[in-house]
Amino acid sequence: MFTRSLGDDGAVLCPLEPWQAGEFLEHIDRGREFIGRYNGLPDVVTDLASSRAYLQAYAEKTRTDSGRICGIRLADGKLVGAVILRTLDVAQGVAEAGCWLEPAAAGQGLVTRAARLLIDWAVEERGVHRVEWWVVAANAPSIAVARRLGMSRDGVLREHYLYRGERHDMEIWSVLAPDWRAFHARSTT
């Protein structure tokens, strides 16, 4: 998957690689508090070495076809977020997608557009049958993305996620390949 347009505003979706660790760290630093409300990534990416290690882990996942990370860039090239396939099991036909975004880029539909491209790639190019979206139940913006992607809520894992000393309910949303294709056909006509 190479650089793909996210629409008329010039935003693009493109792979993130270990050599971009400095830029990735700057991006996380700009959004550290906002991203960290529900996502542990800012606790993992704290310096250049951990930024490089995080991107290297995804480079390995890409190499082994077990995950992927793609950056969301504005028209000026600024990295403002990402979508991931945290897991990708082609043999089982299951993947888990996720996302984050800097606060300055929120509300523009970037995550929805980027996730749409990544899910389409997983379903159409990799043959994934089920894409999951795990989200803290209090994360209304991420749940709204799942809905905009045509996902269904499968259930809630009560107090499943221990984060910064507090237990959070996790909602699991998903879309199956036949439903994705039907949803995608409706949304592009």
pLDDT single digits (tens) 136-155: 999 999 999 999 999 999 99
Parallel, antiparallel or unpaired: strands 4-5 and 130-136: unpaired
Of 2, 11, 26, nearest in space to 76 by CA = 11
Across residues 68-78, what is the average pLDDT? 96
Task: Report the alpha-carbon distance of residue 71 to residue 12 in Å, rounded.
Answer: 8
Strand-by-strand arrangement of the 4-5 sheet: 4-5, 12-15, 68-73, 79-89, 94-101, 130-136, 166-176, 152-163
In the chain, pLDDT over 90 holds for what percent of residues?
A: 92
Amino acid (one-letter) located at 66: S
Task: Report the alpha-carbon distance of residue 98 to residue 95 in Å, rounded.
Answer: 10
Of 134, 91, 133, nearest in space to 116 by CA = 133
> Which tens digits make up the pLDDT trace of 84-138?
999 999 999 999 999 999 999 999 999 999 999 999 999 999 999 999 999 999 9
Q: What is the pLDDT of residue 187?
A: 72
Contact in structure between 111 and 144 (CB atoms under 8 Å): no
pLDDT band at residue 189 using 50, 70 and 90 as cut-offs: low
Beta-carbon neighbour count of residue 143 at 10 Å?
Answer: 18
Tokens of 91: 């043999």
pTM: 0.93
The DSSP call for residue 85 is E
Across residues 49-75, what is the average pLDDT? 97
Q: What is the pLDDT of residue 186?
A: 77
> Which residues pair with residue 133 across a beta bridge?
97, 173
CA torsion through residues 48, 142, 153, 38, sign = positive
Across residues 62-85, what is the average pLDDT? 97
The DSSP call for residue 129 is S
CATH number of 4-187: 3.40.630.30
Q: What is the pLDDT of residue 188?
A: 64
Q: What is the pLDDT of residue 2?
A: 78
What's the whole-number average pLDDT of the chain?
A: 95
Q: What is the pLDDT of residue 57?
A: 98
Q: What is the pLDDT of residue 173?
A: 98
